[in-house]
C-alpha cells in the first residue's frame, strides 16, 4: 500500500547513470545486450563514416563480453575545458555529453552521426558489470576501467607508446540482471556488422567468435560493389529489371539542405518476396520511417512520369504508390545532419524533412536512368500496372458484397474514392472548423473525414439498442458499416469500410475529453475494432517553431513540438546548433481548426510524417481496464472518482 505521506522527503533525485539503471527499457532494448554493444560499434562506424577509420574488428568472447576495436582517431583523453574532467570519462559517465552535439561548422567531431540523444556508450557503461577502454592517440596508449554501474576505477593511465597507430578498443561485460537473455546473439551481431561493411565502402569489418576449445572462427566482410552487390546477394531470385544503384548529396549551394545531406540507394523489382533494409547515418532503422517514405515517393513519381510519357497506362486504371513499390526491394542509406528517431533504440526515423530530402535526391536521377534504360522501365511499368489492375479488381469484388442493403451514409461524411479497406482511413474530427481544414488536407483517394459536432454521448452504460438515438454515434456506426457488439463476440467485419479509424481532436482538455468518450464508445460497443488494431489517436502538435536560416549550413525550417517537453528539447537542440533562441518564433496552436491544411496534413494526416498512436488492449488486464472505465465513466461512481482525484490529483498537469 502506498504511503500517505507526501512531503519534501518523498522526492528522489537520480544522479549520473542512475536513471538508466532504474529504467533501462527507456534507454535500450532489454531482450538482450545487443543494443548496448551496437552503441560501441556505432561509435567506431562514425569514425569510418567520417573517413578516419578503415577497419572495425569485433570479438565475441566465451565469457559473454564483447570487444570492439577500430583504427580511428581515438577518443580524446585530455581535460574538458569547462568540466575539467578527462573527455573519455565524460563520454562514459554522462548521459548528455558527446562529440555529436555541436553542429556548428568546424566544431563537431562528426558531421553525420546516429543521433543526438546524448546517451550512447554511457548507457552501455551503466548496464555493464565492467567496461575497459584503451585509446591509442598522439603516440601514446591510455587505459581506463569502469566497474559495475559505470563507476570509474582509479585514474586514466598512460600504458605505453604506439607510434603512429591510433584507435579505440572497448571491452564490455553486460550485466545479465538487466536483460532477458545475458548474451548477444552471434547471428544478430553478424547482420549488424555485415550491414556496416555494405554502407562503408573501403572499410573492412571483421568478427571473431571464440570457441570452447580456445580457437576462433573469423568472418570478414567487405563490399567493393556496395549496395548493389549486397542486394544481389540477399535476393532469392533475379530482378525483373537491372538493379538501380546510385547516390546523391547536397552541395554547398543547395537551397533546402545542408552540405552532405542526401542518400545512397540500390533497388530492384522481384516476383518473389525480398527483404528491404534502411539506415540513417549507418544506424539500422528496422521499423523504417520518413526516409523510406521519401524513397517510395521519389520512385513512384519517376515511374509514374515514365508511364504517362509513353502512354502505357490502360484506360480506367489508376496507379497508386503501393502498385509501383509493392514488389520492390531496396537498401537505403540516408545521411541527415540532425536525425530524430523514435526512442533511444533508434528503430524508426521521425525527421519530417527526410521525406523531401530522399524523394528529391532519388526522383531526378532515377527518371533519367529510366529514360536511358527503356526496356527496364517498361518491365517495371508492366509489373506496376498488373498490380494496379489486380488491386482494382479485388476492390470491386468487395464493393459488390457491401452494396446490398447498405445504409445511407451520413451527409456530413466526406468519403474517400478508394474501396480498398486495407488503405482507407476515417478521421473523426472535432468540430466543423477542423473538419474543413482536414478536408483540404486529406488524400482524397484514401482518407475520409467525419466532423463531430459537440461531444459524443458517454455510452458506457447505454444499451446497444439505444445507441443510435444519439446522432453522432449513429453517424459513426453507419460510416463504419458495422453494428455494435459485445467483447465476447467474434463479429464479422466484412462490411467495415475503413482499415484505420483515427481520432483527431485538439491538444487540450476538451480534446482529451472527446478522445475519452470515443474510446469509451469503441471499447464498450465496438471492441473488435480495438482488438484487431483498427483504432488510432492522432497526436497533433501544440507548438510550431520557425527556425531562421543559419548561413549555408542550414536553411530556414519549421519544426513542431507535441508538448512542453518537446519544445524544450527543440530549443536546446537549436541552441547547440549555434542559433540563439530569441531568433526563433514559437506559436501555440489553439486547435486543429487554426492549422492551415498544409500544417494539418504534415503533422496529423500524411502517413509519412504524422504521429498516430495505435490503441491496443491487454486481455490479461481486462478486469483492471473494466474497473477503471467503470470508475471514470460510470454514473454512480461520483464518490469513487472524487477519491481517485484526491489521491492522483498532484500528478496532473493542468491546462489552464
Q: Determine the pLDDT at residue 66.
A: 95
Segments making up each domain of the chain, as ranges: 18-221, 226-395, 407-540+589-617, 623-656
CA dist., res. 119 & res. 92, Å (int): 9
Residues 6+ apart with CB under 8 A from 161: 139, 140, 141
The grid coordinates listed for 92 are: 562514459
The grid coordinates listed for 26 are: 527507456
- Name residue, grid cell 558531421: 111
The helix or strand, by DSSP H or E, that contains position 613, with its residue range, turns out to be: strand 612-614
622-633 helix and 638-648 helix, angle to the nearest 10 degrees? 100
Kindly write down the DSSP assignment for every residue of 393-433, as one continuous string.
HHHHHHHHHHHTTPPPPPTT-B--S---TTT-EEEEEEHHH
Single out the residue of 229, 422, 245 nearest to residue 333, CA to CA.
245
Section 635-653 average pLDDT:
73
Q: Determine the pLDDT at residue 101.
A: 40
By mean pLDDT, which of 3-7, 342-346, 434-438, 583-587 is the weakest?
3-7
By mean pLDDT, which of 3-17, 287-301, 616-630 is the weakest?
3-17
Going by pLDDT thresholds of 50, 70 and 90, the confidence category of residue 61 is very high
Q: Determine the pLDDT at residue 325.
A: 92
- Name residue, grid cell 581506463: 144
Q: Determine the pLDDT at residue 243.
A: 93
Instruction: Say whether 432 is catalytic.
Output: no
By mean pLDDT, which of 279-288, 507-516, 596-605, 638-647 is the weakest?
638-647
Instruction: Say whether 510 is catalytic.
Output: yes
CA dist., res. 482 & res. 535, Å (int): 14
The helix or strand, by DSSP H or E, that contains position 249, with its residue range, turns out to be: strand 244-249
Q: Determine the pLDDT at residue 145.
A: 93
How many Cβ atoms sit within 10 Å of the Cβ of residue 3? 6
Q: How many CA atoms lie within 13 A of 406 on its CB side?
A: 17
CA distances from 420 to 163, 226, 496 (A): 66, 38, 11
Q: Determine the pLDDT at residue 465.
A: 78
Q: Determine the pLDDT at residue 503.
A: 92
Going by pLDDT thresholds of 50, 70 and 90, the confidence category of residue 603 is confident
Buried b (16+ CB within 10 A) or exposed e, 267-298: bbbbeeebebbbbbbbbbbeebbbbbbbbbbb
How many Cβ atoms sit within 10 Å of the Cβ of residue 450? 24
Q: What is the phi/psi pair of residue 397, to 5°?
A: -65, -40
The grid coordinates listed for 631 are: 470508475
| Contact in structure between 596 and 439 (CB atoms under 8 Å) | no
The CATH number of the domain covering residues in 226-395: 3.30.230.10
Section 65-75 average pLDDT:
94
Q: Which of 18, 188, 382, 508 is catalytic?
A: 508
Q: Determine the pLDDT at residue 395.
A: 63
Q: Determine the pLDDT at residue 398.
A: 41
Residues 6+ apart with CB under 8 A from 382: 312
The grid coordinates listed for 309 are: 510519357
Q: Which of 430, 577, 602, 606 is catalytic?
A: 430
Strands of the sheet with 585-588, listed across from one edge: 557-561, 543-547, 585-588
Instruction: Say whether 646 is catalytic.
Output: no
CA distances from 574 to 115, 403, 601 (A): 14, 54, 25
CA distances from 412 to 33, 452, 475, 584, 611 (A): 53, 9, 9, 40, 25
Report angle CA 356, 359, 363 to the nearest 5 degrees. Answer: 140
Q: What confidence tens digit (pLDDT) does each residue in 550-581 have?
A: 766 677 888 888 888 888 888 888 887 778 88
Going by pLDDT thresholds of 50, 70 and 90, the confidence category of residue 486 is confident
The helix or strand, by DSSP H or E, that contains position 68, with its residue range, turns out to be: strand 66-70
Q: Determine the pLDDT at residue 173.
A: 94
Which fold would CATH assign to domain 407-540+589-617? Rossmann fold (3.40.50)
Q: Rounded to a whole number, what is the largest CA-CA distance in the chain? A: 86
Averaged confidence pLDDT in the chain: 83
CA dist., res. 334 & res. 8, Å (int): 49
Q: Is 74 left (phi over 0), alpha (psi -120 to 50) or beta?
A: left
Q: Which of 190, 382, 483, 510 is catalytic?
A: 510
Residue 201, Cα to own-chain centre: how many angstroms?
26
Strands of the sheet with 262-269, listed across from one edge: 244-249, 262-269, 328-335, 277-280, 283-284
| Contact in structure between 452 and 429 (CB atoms under 8 Å) | yes
Number of continuous H segments (helices) and E segments (strands) in the chain = 18, 21
Section 111-134 average pLDDT:
74
Share of the chain above pLDDT 90, in %: 29
The helix or strand, by DSSP H or E, that contains position 477, with its residue range, turns out to be: helix 471-480
The CATH number of the domain covering residues in 18-221: 3.30.565.10
The helix or strand, by DSSP H or E, that contains position 277, with its residue range, turns out to be: strand 277-280
CA dist., res. 365 & res. 465, Å (int): 60
The grid coordinates listed for 87 are: 573527455
Q: Determine the pLDDT at residue 345.
A: 59
Q: What is the phi/psi pair of residue 209, to 5°?
A: -110, 110
CA distances from 568 to 243, 523, 575, 581 (A): 44, 35, 11, 11
Highest mean pLDDT among 358-372, 407-421, 470-484: 358-372
Q: What confidence tens digit (pLDDT) does each residue in 165-224 have?
A: 999 999 999 999 988 888 888 988 998 898 888 888 878 999 999 998 889 999 999 887
Q: Determine the pLDDT at residue 106.
A: 38
Q: What confidence tens digit (pLDDT) does each residue in 265-324 have?
A: 999 999 887 788 899 888 888 888 899 999 999 999 999 999 999 999 998 888 999 999
The grid coordinates listed for 268 are: 530492384
pLDDT at 41 over 70: yes
Q: Is 468 helix (H, G, I), strand (E, B) or coil?
A: helix
Q: Which residues pair with 633 in a beta bridge?
A: none
CA dist., res. 59 & res. 44, Å (int): 14
pLDDT at 103 over 70: no
The length of the chain is 656
pLDDT at 649 over 70: no
Section 245-272 average pLDDT:
89
| Contact in structure between 455 and 515 (CB atoms under 8 Å) | no
Q: Where are the beta strands (DSSP E) in 80-201?
A: 128-137, 140-146, 152-161, 167-174
CA distances from 616 to 520, 533, 619, 620 (A): 13, 7, 10, 12
Single out the residue of 501, 513, 493, 509 nearest to residue 450, CA to CA.
501
Q: What is the phi/psi pair of residue 167, to 5°?
A: 145, 180
Going by pLDDT thresholds of 50, 70 and 90, the confidence category of residue 391 is confident
Q: Determine the pLDDT at residue 353.
A: 87
CA dist., res. 79 & res. 405, Å (int): 78
pLDDT at 371 over 90: yes
Q: What confidence tens digit (pLDDT) does each residue in 410-469 have?
A: 878 899 988 888 889 999 998 777 778 888 889 998 999 999 887 788 888 888 778 888
Q: Determine the pLDDT at residue 459.
A: 87
| Contact in structure between 589 and 595 (CB atoms under 8 Å) | yes
- Note the pTM of the prediction, 2 decimals: 0.64
Q: Determine the pLDDT at residue 57.
A: 96
Instruction: Say whether 364 is catalytic.
Output: no
The grid coordinates listed for 412 are: 456530413
Q: Which of 175, 277, 506, 602 is catalytic?
A: 506
Q: Determine the pLDDT at residue 93.
A: 84
Amino acid at each position: 500500500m502506498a504511503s500517505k505521506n507526501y512531503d519534501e522527503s518523498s522526492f528522489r533525485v537520480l544522479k549520473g547513470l542512475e536513471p538508466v539503471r532504474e529504467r533501462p527499457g527507456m534507454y535500450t532494448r532489454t531482450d538482450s545486450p545487443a543494443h548496448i554493444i551496437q552503441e560501441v560499434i556505432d561509435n567506431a562506424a562514425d569514425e569510418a563514416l567520417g573517413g578516419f577509420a578503415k577497419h572495425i574488428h569485433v570479438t565475441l568472447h566465451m565469457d559473454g563480453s564483447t570487444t570492439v576495436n577500430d583504427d580511428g582517431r581515438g577518443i580524446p583523453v585530455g581535460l574538458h575545458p569547462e568540466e575539467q574532467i578527462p573527455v573519455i570519462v565524460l563520454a562514459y559517465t554522462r548521459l548528455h555529453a558527446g562529440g555529436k552535439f555541436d553542429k556548428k561548422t568546424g566544431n563537431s567531431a562528426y558531421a553525420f552521426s546516429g543521433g543526438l540523444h546524448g546517451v550512447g556508450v554511457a548507457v552501455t557503461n551503466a548496464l555493464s558489470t565492467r567496461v575497459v577502454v584503451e585509446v591509442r592517440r598522439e603516440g601514446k596508449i591510455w587505459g581506463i576501467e569502469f566497474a559495475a554501474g559505470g563507476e570509474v576505477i582509479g585514474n586514466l593511465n598512460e600504458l605505453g607508446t604506439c607510434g603512429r597507430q591510433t584507435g579505440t578498443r572497448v571491452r564490455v561485460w553486460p550485466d545479465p540482471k538487466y536483460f532477458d537473455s545475458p548474451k548477444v546473439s552471434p547471428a544478430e551481431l553478424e547482420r549488424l556488422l555485415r550491414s556496416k561493411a555494405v554502407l562503408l565502402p573501403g572499410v573492412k569489418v571483421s568478427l571473431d567468435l571464440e570457441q570452447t576449445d580456445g580457437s576462433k572462427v573469423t568472418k570478414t566482410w567487405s563490399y567493393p560493389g556496395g549496395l548493389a552487390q549486397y542486394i544481389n546477394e540477399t535476393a532469392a531470385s533475379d530482378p525483373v529489371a537491372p538493379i538501380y544503384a546510385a547516390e546523391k548529396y547536397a552541395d554547398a549551394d543547395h537551397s533546402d539542405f545542408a552540405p552532405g545531406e542526401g542518400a545512397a540507394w540500390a533497388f530492384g523489382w522481384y516476383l518473389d518476396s525480398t527483404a528491404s533494409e534502411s539506415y540513417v547515418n549507418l544506424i539500422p532503422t528496422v521499423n523504417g520511417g520518413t526516409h523510406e517514405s521519401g524513397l517510395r515517393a521519389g520512385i513512384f513519381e519517376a515511374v509514374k512520369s515514365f508511364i504517362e510519357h509513353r502512354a502505357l497506362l490502360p484506360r480506367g486504371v489508376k496507379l497508386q504508390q503501393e502498385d509501383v513499390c509493392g514488389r520492390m526491394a531496396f537498401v537505403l542509406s540516408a545521411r541527415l545532419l540532425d536525425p530524430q528517431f523514435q526512442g533511444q533504440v533508434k528503430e524508426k526515423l521521425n525527421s519530417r524533412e527526410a521525406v523531401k530530402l530522399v524523394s528529391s535526391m532519388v526522383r531526378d536521377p532515377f527518371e533519367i536512368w529510366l529514360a536511358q534504360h527503356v526496356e527496364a522501365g517498361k518491365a517495371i511499368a508492366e509489373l506496376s500496372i498488373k498490380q494496379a489492375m489486380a488491386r482494382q479488381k479485388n476492390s470491386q469484388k468487395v464493393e459488390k458484397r457491401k452494396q446490398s442493403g447498405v445504409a445511407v451514409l451520413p451527409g456530413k461524411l466526406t468519403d474517400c474514392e478508394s474501396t480498398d479497406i486495407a488503405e482507407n482511413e476515417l478521421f473523426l474530427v472535432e468540430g466543423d472548423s477542423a473538419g474543413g481544414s482536414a478536408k483540404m488536407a486529406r488524400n482524397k483517394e484514401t482518407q475520409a473525414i467525419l466532423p463531430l459536432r459537440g461531444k459524443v454521448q458517454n455510452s458506457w452504460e447505454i444499451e446497444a439498442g439505444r445507441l443510435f438515438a444519439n446522432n453522432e454515434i449513429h453517424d459513426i456506426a453507419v460510416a463504419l458499416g458495422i453494428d455494435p457488439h459485445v467483447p465476447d463476440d467474434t463479429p464479422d467485419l466484412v462490411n467495415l469500410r475503413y482499415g484505420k479509424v483515427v481520432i483527431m481532436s485538439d491538444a487540450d482538455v476538451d480534446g482529451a475529453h472527446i478522445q475519452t468518450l470515443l474510446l469509451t464508445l469503441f471499447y464498450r460497443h465496438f471492441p473488435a475494432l480495438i482488438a484487431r488494431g483498427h483504432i488510432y489517436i492522432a497526436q497533433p502538435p501544440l507548438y510550431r517553431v520557425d527556425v531562421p536560416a543559419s548561413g549555408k549550413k542550414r536553411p530556414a525550417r519549421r519544426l513542431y513540438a507535441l508538448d512542453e517537453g518537446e519544445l524544450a528539447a527543440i530549443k536546446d537542440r537549436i541552441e547547440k546548433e549555434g542559433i540563439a533562441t530569441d531568433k526563433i518564433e514559437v506559436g501555440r496552436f489553439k486547435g486543429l481548426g487554426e492549422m492551415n491544411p498544409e500544417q494539418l496534413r504534415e503533422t496529423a494526416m500524411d502517413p509519412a510524417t504524422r504521429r498516430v498512436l495505435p490503441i491496443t488492449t491487454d486481455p490479461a488486464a481486462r478486469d483492471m481496464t473494466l474497473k477503471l472505465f467503470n470508475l471514470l465513466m460510470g454514473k454512480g461512481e461520483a464518490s469513487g472518482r472524487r477519491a481517485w482525484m484526491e489521491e492522483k490529483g498532484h500528478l496532473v498537469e493542468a491546462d489552464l
